[in-house]
Every structure is written in C-alpha cells, then in structure tokens.
Structure 1
C-alpha cells in the first residue's frame, strides 16, 4: 500500500528498541500465521511436516546422514531411496562419520549451554496443553550413549521429569558421558540407588522401582509414568503423547493377559543370581499372596500416578513384590498382575474379558520375529522386519519407518544407531518438525 505524504514530511524519531520490537512483532506474526496453516494437519502426511518449518530443522552435529539421505522420500516408501539408505548403512566410512563416541559427550557437556544449543534441545514448552500435563520417565541403560542421547533429545520437554538408571556394571566412559548429559538439565537426574542389572532377574524390576520412588518424590506433580530402555524411540510428539494419555481418563495401558502354559515355570520355581547369571535352585515356590492371579505382560508400561503410588505404598503389592523377587523375568508378569488387582488406580478387573495384548496397549511396539509374515498373510501380526534381528526382536531399518508411523503406540523397540542410523535420524527429524507445526 502506498502512503500519501506532504512535500516536506517530518521524520519522526523512532527509538532503536522500538525498531527491534516492531521487527520481532512482524516475525512472530508471520510465524503464527504459518503455524495456523499446519495446526490441524494431524493425519499422517510426511510432506506437510517435512516441508513446513524446514528452517527450524536441526542436523546431527555429530555428523548426521542428512546430506546423504532423502528422509521425505523414505517416509513416502520410495523404494529407490530406501535401497540407497540400506546400502549406505553398510558403508564403513558412513558409519564412522555418523557415530558419536562417549568422549564427545564427556567433553561437550563441560559447557551445558553450548551443548543444549548445538544439539538443539527444546528448552521451552511448546504449548499450554503440554505444560499442564507433565510426564515422568524412567530410562534404564547400560551402553550405547549415542542411542540414549538421541532418545532423550526426542522426548525432552522442560515440564517433564526424567530419571536415568545406569547399570553399575557399565563402562566408566558410559557412566561419565551419561553423568555429563544429565548434569545439563534441571529436570533430568540419575537414580539415587543404581543396581547391577542381571538379565531376567529381579534387578531389572528394582531399577524401575528405584526410579519410580525418586520420580514420585520429585517436586513435579506429573500425570503419567512411562519406562523406557536406551534402544526405545518415540513414534509420537510430546503433545500427541499427552493427548493420548488424557484420552485414557486415568486408566493405565499395558500388556496384561493370561500367562501361557509355557511360561508357568517362571513363577513356580525359585531362582537366584549366581556369578552374574540367574539360575534355578530346584526349589518350588509357594503360591502368590492373596491367591492373586499371575498374569503375563512385559517390562514397559504406561501407568497413572495413582498406579505408581499403589506400587510404592499398597501393602498387597508390597507382599507381591516380596514374593516375586526370586522368580524368573518378573518384569514380564509383575506390572501386568498389579494392573488387574482391584482397587489399584487405572486397573482392570481380573476377568479375561479385560485381557490386553501388546498390540492393543499403547506403551510399546515390538516386532517379534515369530509373529512376522509376508504382506497379505492372515497369520502374520506385522510385516517382515526390514532391518535385522537381535534375540528374535526386529532392529528397525528404513523400510520399517512408514509402517511404524502408522501404528498407535507411543514408543517402539529396537533402534540402533550403530547398525541403522538413518531410521533414527529420519524419525527424529519428522517428529521435531511435526512438534513445531503443532505448537501454540
């Protein structure tokens, strides 16, 4: 628009600070308009999130694959780009470029402000809805610091609170790197009582119990508890997680179903840890307290604050914990059993009508090798793994990415920056841009 002026206009005095404020106002207004254009695009459409807010995207300052891979094409199941990414993942030079050693984190976290800025952590709450619904996380790890740091960056929000349990057997460089990362955030802390975690033993449960207690006693009155391991990664933004948890209306979400006959031995025999391994003693266990039905589940759960309070304080549950501490893999039945105890907040009645599988629970998605199958197979639970298998679990590759983002789960397992870094990079980039597009 053209302004009419007199032949001798008076040039008004404008304070330099006013110019700055005016520029900020115009910039903020433009950003607000652009945000409104994407605010309601909640259907899965990768191009809408990858292309919008691209100037706010981040790169992996440790040497990311963004210059070598087209994440948008991978998200759209472009066969050529997926094959290119697979071949790249086999390249030693590429792996050397994208791997971040423990020493990097030890040195980089000496300057926390620079570390958070260079790694582009979201240190401000993106909207009021998230601010009013803080979450609590327990993260149990023993290696792969790079995996952990990418996970923390993907789920970090200043209103949440995070307890990190590092196995006491972990290498000194792992502990030092994790300590450095944790020290840079006021709402992230190391568990007060770390333990030596032995596979399939009570110690795995104890690690989460110790974090539960620390989180419950923290100053943040969080709404839901989520436990993770270092090879998990989110499939949803923090806002999406908040909205899905709010929709539970206080209920918990976790696998809880009748224990298969082939697993009954785990809770009818006495086990103990000998020389760092869990072994059967030959003794039989007494029945569980209060004749509680022992149900099958897994170690990873979404639980209300009330559920956690019951775990820590309910005398019935304390008796159950005591009974379970010499069983095999108690993490795969304990939370599921507590979920069906009448009176526990957010729980379900013990009747089989209320059984829930890991597919229907929202806590965590895992591709078990035995349940995979070719497309169109009526017996398959999910399509074949596009990465590789470790202990019969799929380590996701780039070909799994689109399928992963179509699922309703909050998190998935396993991801590995050592073998499939591209899938992690593309997933975190997608989630970051989507989070920015959904902010207030």
Structure 2
C-alpha cells in the first residue's frame, strides 16, 4: 500500500510539473520556432523546481541572474544566517542511506538516464574528478559520459563511504584504482589526476575529450554546449600555457620534498629539464583530447619530463602547460610566445584572482570585483557574480563553496537544467 501511495504521489507530481511546463512551452515555442515541443514535454519532469523542496528555494534565481539588487541582497543575507546553513547542510551519512535504493535515488535527484540528443550521444566525454560533491556530479552527469573519482587517502571514512555509495549506483562512474595521499602544491596532486586519466584511457568508453575537476568547480555550460565547443576545437586542446613569469622560476629550478605533509625547499638546484624542453607556466585545469592523454601515458619525452617534475613546487602549474607546447603531442601548439594562452582565453576554467579585480574604468582590471569572499587570493563566488560569469566562454568556474554560500550553485543548477531540457543551446 505504501508503494502504491508513493507511486500515485510521483505520478501526480509529474502531471503538475507537466501542466506548468505547457505554459512555459507556449512561451518558448513562440520565441523559438525551431524548438521541438515533444522533446521538451518528454523531459519536463527533470527540471529543477521549487516543488523539489530545496531549502534554497527562498532565493529568486531569475532575479539574481538578471542582477536585481533586492534579490542579491536577500541572497547575501542568507549567507550569514545560521538557520539557513543548517537547513542546507547534508551530512555524509545521508548519501549512504539515500542510495540504498539506486533507482529511487536517481529518480528523486532527477539524474538524466538517457542522452538528451544524438549529438551528445555520439561525442562522449570523460571527467577526472579529484574529490567531489554530489551536486557537481549531478550537474555534469550524462549516461554516455564516463567519470573517474579520486578520493584523497586522508579523507574521512564517512566521505569515502558517501562517494562510494553514489558511484555504485551508476555503471559509468567509478573510484580510481590507485588513490594517493594528496599534498597541496606537491606531486601527489598531479598523480591523483594521472591515475584517473590512466583508468579513463584504459576504459571501454571511447571518449573524445577529458576535463579535470575538483569539488569547488561548477559548470557554466550544458553538456550539449560543452560538446559543441569541444567539436569546434577540431582535435586541439584548451588550457593556460604561457611564458614563465620571473616570480615562479624558483619553483622549478630548485628541488623540493614533502616533509610532515607539506612541501619544502631543499636548497639544491635541479638539473635542466630533459630533451632541452622549455618549461611553460599554466594551472591545474585542462580540456584535452584523447590523443593528448595517450602522449601523457606513452611518450618517452613526457614520461621523462614527469619524472623531472616530481620534486618541483606546484608541478600542476607547469606540467600540463609544458606538454601542450611540445611538438608531436596531439592538439599541442608551437612553443613560440605568439602561441601563449592565458587562463582568460582558455576555456578550461574561469577563475577570479583578487589582484586582477577592480573597476571597469581601470586599464589594469581584468574582471569586476568579487561578490563573495577570497581564499588564497581567489574569489569564492557569490550570487552577484553569476550574471557576469554566464557571459563568459569558459566551460567551468572555480571556486564555489556550498558550505559558506550555496546560492550560486543552486541558481546555476536550475539555469543549466532548464536550458538543457528546453533545447535553448
């Protein structure tokens, strides 16, 4: 009887949402004659709505995305409200219990169970995820893609259990075969990605591109928009890769080692890089082709270079950028500085650095001021950043922190899901 009542409730919920969608559909088709009404109605129940009873529903996301002051002030007020933070916090144990019935979990959380288009089905993507939270996974999940999740060996057992429980519900999501103890700014951070990349490359899914993520990333584009952007690269890669700035030189010229869970200089100078390779500067984020990863795993020059990088400081800021400029690596560019690419021009990640923020009138300003807070001189986005962010060409943005401010993620979730289901790409 309980199952029958639950089934009737879900049916009524779907019907209610469908009726609401008919009204939305009439507006969409009037302004978009090429829109396929049947595809919108078929998937309308997957849209995120206030009936999902998410605590953040008190926010007016439509107004926030339009930059309306009152809505932004209300969102800002919520970030300092203790009761609101208590209501949005989800303990790790919740996911262990929620995934006991995987079908119910995927239905309740509205995971996509089939590709939304043939174009997306024909262009599977791979994701290397160093740690994760479920809302990021749900935002990027598509059944034709493949996902490797690396959980730090230092992570609490409750975190590992929660992530394992979630991944066990999906055939295309798996935990990395060789987890490592991640150390900030040291080689193990790179090794975590490398282990996932190897597992992804050796999987049966013939993915086209791979994107690496961490738990504080969130997408700015739908899966179809990402697919179309990557198709336009025509086998090329997109990541920051520039001439080495002077203040970073010591990070790669001098030897470092891990001591008591941190990285310290040894006072010893390193030998020059192998094969006379020019070291380039970049960051930890990349969007690269399958061929690029083949070179990472098999090219003897790259293997020698990685060995050389193991005692440098923050090697993830240099390794990927350097490989991208090596002749013969699929999708690479020439090492000449005319081919330098900044993080602003690359599509991999939108990051606001504090020293580049400022007034639009200033010639030194790269982007407007952060509306959230700062951690290690990087903006942790607030609701006021969303309108600007969605105008950028990047696929993902960093950083978000749902523990301090879940509103930006909530509004992005709703925006992207509605966009994906409506076909407005």
Match of 2:256 in 1: 271
Pairwise CA distance, 1:37? 5.6
**Which whole-Å deviations, capped at 9, do the CAs of 1:54-104 have from their partners, x for residues lacking one?**
764225899624431111011111001100111012111111111111111
Inter-partner Cα distance in structure 2 for 1:252 and 1:189 = 25
8 Å contact kept, 2:124–2:208? yes
The match for 1:77 among 67, 78, 86 is 67
Distance 1:181 1:253, change over 3 A: same
Match of 1:281 in 2: 266
Distance 1:37 1:160, change over 3 A: farther
**Which whole-Å deviations, capped at 9, do the CAs of 1:178-209 have from their partners, x for residues lacking one?**
10111111000000000000011100110000
Inter-partner Cα distance in structure 1 for 2:229 and 2:31 = 20
Match of 2:362 in 1: 377
Match of 1:139 in 2: 129
Q: Which structure is larger by alpha-carbon Rg, 1 or 2?
A: 1
The match for 1:238 among 215, 223, 243 is 223
The match for 1:338 among 308, 323, 329 is 323
Moved more, 106-115 or 256-265: 106-115
Q: Is residue 99 of structure 1 aligned with residue 89 of structure 2?
A: yes
Distance 1:39 1:243, change over 3 A: farther
8 Å contact kept, 2:47–2:421? no
For residues 8-407 of structure 1, what are the structure 2 equivalents within 5 Å? 56-59=46-49, 64-141=54-131, 148-407=133-392
Inter-partner Cα distance in structure 2 for 1:309 and 1:40 = 44
TM-score, structure 1 as length reference: 0.87
8 Å contact kept, 2:274–2:304? yes
8 Å contact kept, 1:64–1:97? no
Inter-partner Cα distance in structure 2 for 1:189 and 1:41 = 38
Distance 1:123 1:68, change over 3 A: same
Inter-partner Cα distance in structure 2 for 1:177 and 1:62 = 22
Distance 1:40 1:247, change over 3 A: farther
Inter-partner Cα distance in structure 2 for 1:122 and 1:439 = 17
Distance 1:112 1:61, change over 3 A: farther
Inter-partner Cα distance in structure 1 for 2:29 and 2:337 = 46
Inter-partner Cα distance in structure 1 for 2:303 and 2:249 = 22
Number of positions where the alignment pairs a residue of Structure 1 with one of Structure 2: 399
**Which whole-Å deviations, capped at 9, do the CAs of 1:142-197 have from their partners, x for residues lacking one?**
xxx6xx11100000000000000000000111111010111111000000000000
Pairwise CA distance, 1:377? 2.0
**Which whole-Å deviations, capped at 9, do the CAs of 1:223-249 have from their partners, x for residues lacking one?**
001000001000000000000000000
The match for 2:413 among 418, 425, 428 is 428
Which runs of 5 or more structure 1 residues have no equivalent in the other structure?
1-26, 43-52
8 Å contact kept, 2:346–2:394? yes
**Which whole-Å deviations, capped at 9, do the CAs of 1:353-382 have from their partners, x for residues lacking one?**
100000000000100111100232221100
Pairwise CA distance, 1:328? 0.7
8 Å contact kept, 2:48–2:418? no
Distance 1:333 1:38, change over 3 A: farther
Counterpart of 1:173 in 2: which secondary structure?
helix
Inter-partner Cα distance in structure 1 for 2:127 and 2:209 = 9
8 Å contact kept, 1:38–1:438? no
Distance 1:377 1:347, change over 3 A: same
Which runs of 5 or more structure 2 residues have no equivalent in the other structure?
1-18, 36-42
TM-score, structure 2 as length reference: 0.90
Distance 1:76 1:41, change over 3 A: farther
Inter-partner Cα distance in structure 2 for 1:247 and 1:130 = 14
Inter-partner Cα distance in structure 1 for 2:356 and 2:33 = 35
Distance 1:388 1:439, change over 3 A: closer
Match of 1:47 in 2: none
8 Å contact kept, 2:208–2:290? yes
